[in-house]
Amino acid sequence: MTRGQFGSASDSVTDRGHDRIFSLGGQWKPASRVQLAADVSYVRSDESMDRITFNVPAEVLAKLVDSIYDLTEAHTYSDLKLARWEAGLEATAQLGRGVHGVFSYRLSKVSDDKPYVADLSGKLDVVQLGLRWTL
């Protein structure tokens, strides 16, 4: 025996997201063979969604015993708030014709104010040291 379809319901939902970004950077050449660069940025993001409400009559829901229409917490899945600071420094020195030594450091710090699946808060330090050459 099939239960058939006893009706349908829909709801219009709005999802809102906001990103605020500040970024500043610059370069300085203190000597003919040395170049320095620095940058800093801040990003603040948040997102939210309206509550989902279905106007389904109780007698229709009673017939749909194998279905779950409880979406009362679905809007909280999109309730996100993140902040990220990043800062970087780079020094490049010309070591020879077409050969440069490069050192860089980058710090990234994330604050997850409303963790959902996992807390993304943390800090990452990246240090790079290398050679760059052109032919």
Per residue in 64-102, pLDDT tens? 767 666 677 777 777 788 899 999 999 999 999 999 999
> What confidence score (pLDDT) does residue 87 get?
98
pTM, to two decimals: 0.67
Q: Is 78 exposed, middle or buried (0-12, 13-18, 19+ CB in 10 A)?
A: middle
Distance CA 122, CA 109 (A): 6
Residue in the block written with tokens 């420094």: 89
Phi-psi region of 98 (alpha: psi -120 to 50; beta: other; left: phi over 0): left
In terms of pLDDT, which residue wins out, 1 or 48? 48
pLDDT single digits (tens) 17-70: 899 999 999 999 999 999 999 999 999 999 888 887 777 777 776 777 676 666
